Chain A
Amino acid sequence: MTRLTVVDADRCVGCQLCMFACSRRFGEGGLAKSAIRVRSAGGFERGFVVVACRACPDPPCMKVCPVDALEPRRGGGVVLKAGKCIGCHRCAEACPVHAVFWDDEANKPDICVHCGYCVGYCPHEVLAMREAEQL
């Protein structure tokens, strides 16, 4: 099963089209629902960091959820059961790569479902859907 993969962050120009695409899945503009983030590596002169869910086989975010609102996703990562979520932020704090983002308006995490919608809007071949590589 494929997952969202950052193949070459050096090609990233920081346009954030992936972020906008992610929110647009829900039929809205802006970035409130984006489960991917591009930020500078400490200023635009240093290039960009693309923060995206790694689809962990044993996800730390899931392990800390006190209400079991995060369930394992086939192929790695998690699926959010929004009805159960109490908005405690523990999943966001547990993610070592800070890839759990927050929808302040809904007070729920923005969780990547590895659908690949963002990949179609990356004009510079930074993102791709790939099989997870095993070390």
Chain B
Amino acid sequence: MRLPTRVLMADLTARRFTVEDRADLFQYYIGGAGVAISLLKEYCPVGADSLGPDNPIVFAVGPLVGLYPLASKTVAMFKSPLTGNLGESHAGGRSAVAIRSAGYGAIVIRGASESPVYLSIDDKGVQFRDASGIWGIASSVTTGRIIRELETGAGTRTIMRIGGAGERLVRYASVITETYRHFGRLGLGAVFGSKKLKAVTVSGNHGIEVSDRKLYRETYDDIYRRAVESPVMKKYHDIGTASNIMPLNLQKGLPTMNLKTTTSPDAERISGERLAENYLGRRVACAHCPVACIHIAALREPYEKEPYFYKTTMIPYDYELIYALGSMLGIFDEKAMLHLIDDVEIWGLDAMSTGVVLSWATEAQEKGLISQNETLGLNFRWGDEPTYAKAVEHIVKQPNEFYAALARGVDHASKRYGGEDYALAFGGNEMPGYHTGPVSHVGYLTGSRHSHLDAAGYSIDQAALKDKLPDPKAAAAKLLKEEAWRQILSSLVVCFFARGIYDKDTVAKSLETAGHKVAPEALDEKGMEILREKNRFKEREGFKASELRIPGRVFETASPLGKIDEKYLRESVEEFYRLLYA
């Protein structure tokens, strides 16, 4: 039986590595998020500069990775250059299986390189490879193509890399893996860039022993069968997450034009159904996932002035991208939207943050807070994709103070230029695409990542369309319970789309075959403790729940549950933190 307990420690400054067995951490914290927060606390000094050599990058996988389907996620933790506290982002692709197959449970990257470097990691350790020849390549796609040819392990490796946004330290730059998966949120790409780290590849070929072969196969078949028969999984396979556009638009919960409104008669044009019908070119899966939720549009277009000369671009789309770079910017021309998604992917920016930053800038220009002096002659107008594409390039290159401010996020930009009431960020992280009611916003405020994924507050709102909305205290309790449980899932590390399949008993049983014995009842407290650890790190780095800013726009624009009451949010947030430490 071999739990993934080895931690690879790579030092970019000294160009050395060591491997340590940290069974102590994995025994209690399981893996993934639990182990990552422990390693982050251990290796990130208090008050570290998020873009300095002291900020460690932690990647952690868990005991179910490589053993069971839908358990192929890697958790990255770091100090976020966007929020100044906890940076946590999850990605799938082949990253998790590659890390475990290379024989590691976690990888910690410390220090900073003087010259551009990329890391080639396998079971023998780390090769520090010169990246000066690929530094400055703006496209994350091209970077991947080049490294693919330089390294072995086709089919089972991961190539995590940054584009121009990471190199230029945009605070919400992402790290892209396997072309279409991202450590998207909270700025891991900028942390890579600050270390002159262009990419990390990992590959390996280790098998994984189990404690009981028969029980392993039985448990596997049970999980597999439930996965392929589940209606949720069918939804994510058929239309994908973009299937949420139409219902949210109908409920009037789809943030549109910087949340001035929540619905548009044109939303059908950017809906999952329409994209699937007219553009879907390929569906792709993370390793060990039968669902294949990754939807890729094939956009075939002629070159201007070149008859019969076409190019076909493969562009991934998901609900959040369509929200942020479609409805939020008033872009309802699906081709224009796909172009903007493609640009943001290539530069390696977080799509959600980029969309929210640009939608704030559009409104700020409408209201005269900024002029063409700041925008370098650009005139932001809802739906004007070519202008937004130029702005995206400016955000990466930061030719003036204004774009440098945009590159630091909407919180920062609005503090400098005004318009904070409609600067849609929570805890410093730009808003996700759900204005479904009060609980979604309580979730953004209290979630340890300020993300819709922390506790899925939107689902509580949506249930309240038919039933009664819980009172603020009950809502807080529900959110806390869900977020604590998600710490377990993200310590295994199971995809949240499979949360219906990995119930408590399934988790305990599958963990047992992996060599990790834990009573199902003990999981709740463990999840809560991991969540507390994450919040303790945030507070250590200056986060104060009492100082959370709530943009006024949230209260002005009605949700499907009507206007949102500030008192409800404040009371619920307070209760959440009281319960967390109770």
A residues sitting closer than 8 Å to B (CB atoms) are 13-17, 20, 23-24, 26-33, 37-40, 42-45, 47, 51, 102-105, 121, 123-124
Contacts and interface: CB of A to CB of B under 8 A. Distances in A.
Given A15-B285, A31-B101, A121 B206 contact: no
Contacts of A103: 205, 207
B419 interface: no
B154 interface: yes
B216 A27 contact: yes
Contacts of B407: none
B206 A28 contact: no
B284 A123 contact: no
B66 A15 contact: no
Given A24-B220, A43-B145, A15 B100 contact: no
A29 B155 contact: no
Contacts of A14: 284-285, 292
B179 A45 contact: yes
B207 A105 contact: yes
B210 interface: yes
Contact of B69 (A17, A32, A104): A17
Chain B contact residues (Cβ within 8 angstroms of A): what range? 35 or more
10 contacts: A13-B284, A13-B292, A15-B292, A27-B214, A28-B209, A29-B67, A30-B207, A31-B97, A32-B101, A44-B179
Interface in B259-297: 282-290, 292, 296
B544 interface: no
Q: What 8 A-B pairs come out closest when comparing CB atoms?
A: A27-B213, A39-B155, A32-B207, A29-B208, A15-B285, A13-B292, A29-B67, A45-B314
Given A45-B296, A123-B290, A28 B207 contact: yes
A32 B290 contact: no
B217 interface: yes
B236 interface: no
A37 B94 CA distance: 14
A33 B207 contact: yes
A32 B206 CA distance: 5
Contacts of A37: 155-156
Given A31-B156, A47-B282, A121-B224, A17 B288 contact: yes
Interface string B153-187: 01110000000000000000000001110000000
Contacts of B46: none
Contacts of B145: 42-43
A123 B228 contact: yes
B290 A15 contact: yes
A44 B180 contact: yes
Given A13-B284, A15-B285, A32 B213 contact: no
Contacts of A27: 210, 213-214, 216-217
A30 B206 contact: yes
A29 B63 CA distance: 11
Contacts of A29: 66-68, 207-210, 216
A104 B179 contact: no
A30 B290 contact: no
Contacts of B216: 24, 27, 29
B288 A20 contact: yes
Contacts of B206: 30, 32, 104-105
Contacts of A51: 155
Contacts of B527: none
